């Protein structure tokens, strides 16, 4: 096998934002928006990348220089992932040409960084038949994310690997699939892209300043996660909505919501959603709502009326997978 194309799904955090960075659980779902990575073997000692969605064309670097010097933002995770694989299997991997395409914008906060990292490592594992386990892939991908971002809990890595809905504890101490009915979710994009690491740092600073207060908020969020799990499993969407609203209040206390996110959540509730909250780091990116079928049109119009963009997605997408193998990339 000379080349392979793999894909990994985007993700949305349903419950547990920020607390999950500080030894608390979260619940995350994979969504049916995919990032594709094509990898082709070579023997020239070169890593090359074409990633038109993030404006990278004909980027290349020798294996000896991987992770050194200036790395374009859109290449960082794939380059670091390739470097970690080469470090692990130096006698096998002698050169790699990579190309990425994505069905979702990196602006949405759907986890393009984790999807590209997982796709790259999973693809290399398949291409070179190195038989890394899912746990080993998780650990390697999590190290890559920490190398590049310096922050993170790993829930997005677990989601890209496993797909579906996952109950996750910081650092992968627990990764447990939840077999949940299709969630009647609606996603609204604020139009504002935020930097996750920056917001995580802001919450860390708040915790350092007010340790007891922030620890109590994290404890409340953990309680919410534990209430959400049985409601999700039984398809009790009214209760799921109620605990979403509770989670949003705790996130507001952490200062990670925004006027735009609050307006979109309030509009969704007023139009008939069972509940709504921000999803992810906050400040911008996306909000989510659980919505009865009969209210979907009204809720969508309400979100758009306050400046949001409804993004059509379905939850519980499949995890990372092989799309195509045994071919060669075209020349560029």
Examine the pLDDT at 327 and tell me if it is beyond 70. Answer: no
Question: Looking at per-residue confidence, does 329 or 290 come out higher?
Answer: 290
In angstroms, how far is CA 191 from the centroid of its own chain? 18
Percent of the chain with pLDDT over 70: 98
Q: Cα separations (Å) of 118 from 146, 154, 192, 249?
A: 14, 11, 25, 32
Element (DSSP H or E) covering residue 241: helix 237-253
Burial 90-101 (b: 16+ CB within 10 A, else e): eeebebbbbbbe
The pLDDT assigned to 328 comes to 58
CB atoms within 10 A of CB 250: 21
Bridging pattern class, strands 174-178 and 275-279: unpaired
The answer to whether 180 touches 279, Cβ cutoff 8 Å, is: no
Beta strands in the chain (DSSP E): 3-15, 25-41, 46-51, 56-62, 96-102, 165-169, 174-178, 185-189, 275-279, 286-290, 309-311, 321-325
Nearest partner of 219 among 23, 27, 29, 13, judged by Cα: 23
For residue 274, count CB atoms less than 10 angstroms from its CB and return exposed for 0-12, middle for 13-18, buried for 19 or more: buried
DSSP β-bridge partners for residue 51: 56
CB atoms within 10 A of CB 56: 17
DSSP β-bridge partners for residue 10: 31
The pLDDT assigned to 326 comes to 63
The answer to whether 176 touches 47, Cβ cutoff 8 Å, is: no
Ordered domains of the chain (ranges, CATH): 3-179+316-325 (3.30.230.10), 185-311 (3.30.70.890)
The pLDDT assigned to 329 comes to 56
Examine the pLDDT at 69 and tell me if it is beyond 50. Answer: yes
Examine the pLDDT at 59 and tell me if it is beyond 50. Answer: yes
In angstroms, how far is CA 169 from the centroid of its own chain? 15
pLDDT in tens, 256-301: 999 999 999 999 999 999 999 999 999 989 999 999 999 999 999 9
Rounded Cα distance between 330 and 332, Å, is 7
DSSP states along 156-215: HHHHHHHBSEEEEEGGGTEEEEE--PPP-EEEEE-S----HHHHHHHHHHHHHHSHHHHH
What average pLDDT does the structure give for the chain? 94
DSSP β-bridge partners for residue 297: none
Helix/strand/coil for 4: strand
């Amino acid at each position: 096998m000379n080349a392979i194309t793999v894909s990994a799904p985007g993700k949305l955090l349903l419950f547990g934002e920020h607390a999950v960075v500080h030894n608390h659980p979260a619940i995350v779902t994979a969504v049916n928006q995919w990032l594709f990575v094509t990898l082709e073997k070579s023997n020239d000692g070169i890593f090359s990348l074409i990633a038109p969605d993030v404006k990278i064309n004909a980027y290349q670097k020798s294996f000896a220089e991987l992770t050194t010097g200036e790395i374009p933002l859109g290449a960082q995770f794939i380059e670091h992932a390739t470097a970690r694989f080469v470090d692990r299997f130096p006698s096998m991997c002698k050169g790699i040409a990579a190309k990425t395409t994505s069905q979702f914008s990196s602006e949405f906060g759907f986890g393009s960084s984790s999807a590209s990292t997982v796709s790259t490592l999973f693809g290399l594992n398949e291409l070179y038949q190195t038989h890394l386990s899912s746990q080993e892939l998780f650990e390697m991908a999590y190290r890559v994310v920490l190398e590049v971002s310096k922050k993170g809990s790993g829930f997005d890595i677990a989601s890209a690997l496993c797909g579906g809905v996952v109950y996750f504890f910081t650092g992968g101490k627990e990764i447990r699939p939840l077999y949940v009915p299709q969630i009647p979710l609606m996603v609204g994009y604020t139009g504002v892209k935020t930097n996750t690491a920056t917001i995580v740092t802001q919450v860390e600073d708040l915790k350092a300043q007010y340790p007891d207060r922030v620890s109590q908020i994290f404890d409340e969020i953990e309680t919410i996660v534990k209430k959400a799990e049985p409601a999700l499993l039984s398809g009790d969407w009214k209760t799921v909505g109620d605990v979403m609203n509770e989670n949003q209040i705790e996130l507001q206390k952490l200062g990670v919501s925004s006027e735009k996110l609050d307006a979109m959540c309030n509009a969704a509730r007023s139009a008939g959603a069972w509940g709504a909250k921000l999803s992810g780091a906050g400040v911008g990116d996306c909000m989510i709502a659980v919505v009865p079928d009969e209210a979907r049109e009204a809720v969508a119009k309400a979100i758009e009326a306050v400046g949001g963009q409804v993004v059509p997605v379905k939850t519980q997408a499949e995890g990372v997978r092989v799309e195509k193998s045994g071919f060669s990339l075209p020349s560029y």
